Amino acid sequence: MADHEKMRASDADRQEVIQRLRTALDEGRLKMDEYLDRMGQASEAVTYGELTPLYRDLPETSPVAREPAAPVLPPVAGPSAVAARGGFAGLPASLKVLWTVWGAVVSVNLVVWVLVSATTGQLIYPWPLWVAGPWGAVLLAISASVSHGRRSDPGPCRLPPGPST
């Protein structure tokens, strides 16, 4: 035990102690000035013997204060994978932006169409379909090809080694 106390601590060990102190602060076991003092000492500690007293009076974990872990969902496979993860989960940011712009433009056009129909007292031709349809179809085709390309991409192509001379 004495040999362990004299062993030099790593940065990861110091960070682990600081995280433990942070948890104790969050649980109300330490006051802010105690936390700051112990955190400073942990940052300057060289050996395990200097780290141990900083958390010796703290319990390992508090089951009352600990939040239950979120269940880990298994990966979804098959054609419904995009719908289960959220429609845009696997798309690049540029396509997400284009879908957002498309949705905003279609929404504005629908609102204008509804207002015009309501104020004239009759249902007029649904011209927002011409705004939503073609652009939506193009975006859908691009999104489908990108997501299919990402699923079937085998990774970078590696050339076989050349003849050694």
Return the CA Rg of the chain.
30
pLDDT at 107: 94
Owning domain of residue 116: 85-152
Residue with tokens 């652009």: 135
Question: Do both 107 and 48 map to the same domain?
Answer: no
Helix axes 48-55, 32-44, angle to 10 degrees: 170
> How far is the C-alpha of 13 from the C-alpha of 20, rounded, in Å?
11
48 has pLDDT over 70: yes
* Residue at 72 is within a domain: no
pLDDT at 143: 85
**Total of domains in the chain:** 2
Question: Do both 145 and 89 map to the same domain?
Answer: yes
Question: Do both 93 and 40 map to the same domain?
Answer: no
pLDDT at 108: 94
pLDDT at 162: 56
pLDDT at 82: 46
* Residue at 159 is within a domain: no
> How far is the C-alpha of 140 from the C-alpha of 99, rounded, in Å?
9
> How far is the C-alpha of 150 from the C-alpha of 85, rounded, in Å?
15
* Residue at 71 is within a domain: no
Q: Residue 123: which residues within 8 A CB-CB, separation 6 or more?
A: 117
pLDDT at 92: 83
* Residue at 98 is within a domain: yes
Question: Do both 46 and 95 map to the same domain?
Answer: no
Which of the four pLDDT bands, split at 50, 70 and 90, describes residue 65? very low
61 has pLDDT over 50: yes
Which of the four pLDDT bands, split at 50, 70 and 90, describes residue 64? very low
8 Å CB contact between 9 and 48: yes
User: Residues 98-150: pLDDT tens digits?
Assistant: 989 999 999 999 999 999 999 998 888 998 898 899 988 998 888 888 877 66
* Residue at 164 is within a domain: no
